[in-house]
Amino acid sequence: MSSKLAKYTALVLFNLILFFFLLEVVSRLYLAFRPSVSYVSRWEYRKNNPPAYQGAEFYNKTFLLDSMQCGTSRPWEPGKNFRQMNDYRGKYINFIDGQRYTTDQPDHYQNRVLLFGGSTLFSQEVPDKYTIASYLQRLLNAQNLPLTVENYAVPSIIAQQQLNKLRTVNINTGDIVIFYDGVNDIVAPLYNGDISGLRLDSPNDGGGFQPLSTYQKWIHIAFIKFGDYSGAVRLAFNPKGWRLPANIVDKQKFEQNLEKMQKGYLDALIEAQSYTSEHGGIFLHFLQPNIFTLSNKSEHKRWLMENDLKSSPGLDIAFDLGYPKLKEAIVLAKTKNIISYDLTKALDNATTEVYLDLLHINHVGNKLIAQYVYENLISESPRAIATRQLQAPNTLKKNIDLKEIKPVLQEEKEPPVMAEEGYKGYNIVKYAGRYYGISQAEGPIDITQIKDKARYPWFTDDSIEGVESKIGDHTHPSLLNRILKKTKSLF
């Protein structure tokens, strides 16, 4: 009896081995001859050392597993309209108690810089050391500024959900709150049709991005671990086809969502600034870049767009029509005394490939963004910010009036005018309602491209006096430290 069982078991094992062997052979043959136009999924692309990862000291299989596994969500809690993440502790990526870990935080500090945003700020694509927050922290440390950076970013959330999360965080007098956003307010309200924010646990009938099934989650992990050795695993990882979402196809619905999105975005910024000011803090906003906002696209970026749009058809339409509405919203936000910066061209001059897909960037891109945030952060006088924001209106009209936006847009087109020449080696120029201190060593420069082209420090403020003060602070850095340390006395 035992002999028959042994023979039967051996036969079953032989058949299984033969089956998997033939499956592997067929899979490899199919993959060898499959059409070159097939879609390359996110993790298949990232696993093959793409240009944006080439030369990165952290790039290896362990990092990729960290990057893939760190973004799991908790069940949605009643009354909390924003995604909450499970804690994750890995070799390269850590997310603990609602914060992505920021390296190089000082042991002693006066105030905090609180960052809120989506996946691009969460920076799942890089280790802790290379997030926007960690780069910003090192820039502040280099100037001995008594500030610690905390990263409250959560993948997929829109500006309104950032506001909801902001309300769960204690703000102390003199703390700085920064919103860095834009792309999720296109993806959720326009592409997925979720006006109140993306809910991957409850997919929208109008199409768009959908949640991964349990099978897909497991095959993602198997692909990273065994994809190098098994054609069957690589073939199983191949995605299904996608269709153009009804949210994009239905023009009337799209136009309605476009209007609601713009209103909701502006409303969130005004409420965030009001809430921050009420608690003694300072609020700044940054509109983030994406691959669609690049002025020039390399051959590889064009391939990225073509490839990724196979899995998200119509997303380019949502961005092409939606981002101008976000820009209009921040122009109007500035008239409400909100400090907002448009960073959509911040990566135009990157000398290497920084994009890993349509929206997410690598460590080099994060460093560039952190530099822009830092420069704009220290260019603003704490006293001027406090005065402007405490005087800001706390209400918002129900409907955005484009007539209110157009005069501001027109003002930005007026030519620059020399306001003061030769102040401590700087020329002070008036442009678009603000004053700019530009080093005379700079030579001729297009003021509209000063963020990208300037070789020397430059400063901006609402008044000549403000610019002169910042030029003085630059000459005597310790003065800026004293100003920041006395921030609490401004309220």
Is the distance from CB of 118 to CB of 182 less than 8 angstroms?
Answer: no
For residue 30, what pLDDT is reported?
A: 65
Contact of 282 with 177, CB cutoff 8 Å: yes
Q: Are 203 and 255 in contact (CB under 8 A)?
A: no
> Per mean pLDDT, which of 28-32, 200-204, 268-272, 392-396 is the most reliable?
268-272
Q: What is the pLDDT of residues 69-122, one digit of tens each?
A: 997 877 766 666 778 889 999 999 999 999 999 999 999 999 999 999 999 999
pLDDT tens by residue, 209-225: 555 555 555 555 555 55
Residue 396 has pLDDT above 50, yes or no: no
Give the pLDDT band of residue 155 (cuts 50, 70, 90). very high
CB-neighbour burial class of residue 369 (10 A; exposed 0-12, middle 13-18, buried 19+): buried
Give the predicted TM-score (pTM) of the model.
Answer: 0.70
Q: What is the average pLDDT score of the chain? A: 81
pLDDT at 380: 63
pLDDT exceeds 50 at position 405: no
Closest CA to 459 of 470, 473, 451: 470
Tens digits of residue pLDDT in 431-490: 877 888 888 877 787 777 777 667 778 888 878 888 888 887 665 444 344 435 445 444
CA 401 – CA 386 distance, rounded (Å): 27
By C-alpha distance, which of 194, 197, 209, 202 is closest to 239? Answer: 209
CA quadruple 462, 468, 471, 476: dihedral positive or negative?
negative
> Sign (positive/negative) of CA torsion 396, 398, 401, 405?
positive
